Homo-oligomer: A and B are copies of this chain.
Amino acid sequence: MPEQRSNLLVQDCHVLIVDDEARVQVLANHDIHVEGRHISRVAPHDPQAPASASDALVVEARGMLAMPGLINTHAHAPMVIFRGLAEDVSIERWFNEYMWPLESNLTEEDVYWGMLLALTEMIEGGVTTVADHYFYMDRAAQAVSEAGTRAALGWAVFGDQGYEALSNTAAFVERWQGAADGRITTWMAPHAPYTCDDDFLRAAADHARALGTGIHIHAAEVMSQTEASLAARGKTPIQVLADSGVLEAPTIIAHGCGIVPEDIPLLQQATRVGVAHAPKTYLKLGMGLTPISSLREAGIAVGLATDGAVSNNTLDVLESLRLMAMLQKHEARDPEVMPISEALQIAFRGSAALLGMEQSLGKLAPGFLADIVLLDLSGSHHQPLHSLTASLLYNARASDVHTVIVNGRLLMHEHRLLTLDKARIVSEVRQGMARLAQRVPQKRIQVYNP
């Protein structure tokens, strides 16, 4: 059932245009016309337009920067309920003593309210789409449906849960594919090569092929996993994905800090693969970095991500964007590496490509879906505004997000949430805090031993 919406006229903003070749321009003082779910026209501001488009709701945006809604290409959004509970610990302890024991407390209700809290934070930060990988995903889908955002959802599954559990995640894919007025897509989500054996991965790939969907999976998260995989299986994690048929489906690979040069040709031969880059997690957990430049030189898409809030602590894609650009300069000890235009191309075009939506998302142009974020750059930390694009990359904060439109519908206007009751959501999540913080290391949902 289509959702109710008015046509919109976003009036007199500066429109950020980033193309696939990383050419960036800012169209000063333009209007964006939205009809139904799509952008119908982007044109120089016409002071007479409100009268001629009298059926459209006018969104006053004078002086603001309009950009495509940010895309978070890999998260475990409901994990916001655990944030701050696992700090300053090794990756092994992070999984075995914190994360997986904590998740033994998880209920369906936690996922629902956690997802709503995460969507609140993301809408407030201009994130309009999330590729999410977690449990009890019917409840996450329900939350997305209510919030009005866009999501690519996968129900995470470990090999030791067995084939029936895998089938249940495939049933989730069928149940929600294209739901919520097309805002929800669904993916198979086997957890990782180190928690799923080859046969299990092959079965997941079979489901994906049968359902015509893709696979969202963690792989080569860190170099020690690649080394462990070579020792145990004689193959890198990426080779495991290739040999088990996973890469024959569209694939989102989370992290890839352990991708080695031999993996690149396998990724190039894949049907359609991209790597989600979540730099704050990598810094906090000392994981190294995704080899972004090698991937991009080979034509493999890279997108921006936050990962879950137990490692990243927030779901702030603007922060991921800034960290990505700065870390590439740092690692190369070369400030000319990853110029503003390339960083923005990854944020908008790369991330859309990761979801297979580069024809419909990540660009403010006629025919594209109307996922639009207005940034208010009038704050003292942007002034004087010599460069809109430098300010977007290096100065902008989530709190600068002023208005958010998804699928042609206003979700936040003038910092006011229109679809979600934040006070209620925070209150519901807080009620579970004491229970959620309990962790019994012996009671855990999985063991990290790659």
Contact = CB atoms under 8 A, between A and B. Distances in A.
Interface of A: 80-85, 87-91, 94, 117, 120-121, 124-125, 280, 282-288, 313-316, 326-327, 329-330, 332-337, 339-340, 378-381, 383-387, 390-391, 394-395, 397-399, 422, 426, 429-430, 432-433, 436-437
B390 A313 contact: yes
A326 B283 contact: yes
Contacts of A399: 397, 399
A14 to B, nearest CB: 14
Contact of A395 (B85, B314, B335): B314
A380 B286 contact: no
Contacts of A384: 80-81, 83, 117, 426, 429-430, 432-433, 436
Contact of A380 (B121, B284, B340, B433): B121
A90 B335 contact: yes
Nearest to A399: B399
A16 to B, nearest CB: 15
Given A125-B381, A384-B430, A433-B384, A87 B390 contact: yes
Nearest to A313: B394
Nearest to A122: B380
B398 A398 contact: no
B383 A429 contact: yes
21 contacts: A80-B384, A83-B386, A83-B390, A84-B386, A84-B387, A84-B391, A87-B339, A87-B390, A88-B339, A90-B334, A90-B335, A282-B330, A283-B327, A283-B329, A284-B326, A284-B329, A284-B335, A286-B334, A286-B335, A288-B333, A378-B426
Contact of A286 (B330, B426, B436): B330
Given A284-B326, A313-B390, A383 B87 contact: no
A85 B387 contact: yes
Contacts of A326: 280, 283-284
A62 to B, nearest CB: 15
A397 to B, nearest CB: 5
A433 B433 CA distance: 50
Contacts of A380: 117, 120-121, 124, 422, 426
Contacts of A436: 384
A385 B124 contact: no
Contacts of A334: 90, 286
Given A284-B329, A327-B330, A397-B398, 17 more contacts: A83-B386, A84-B394, A87-B390, A89-B336, A90-B334, A90-B336, A94-B335, A117-B384, A121-B380, A283-B326, A283-B327, A283-B329, A287-B333, A383-B426, A383-B430, A384-B429, A397-B399
Nearest to A338: B88
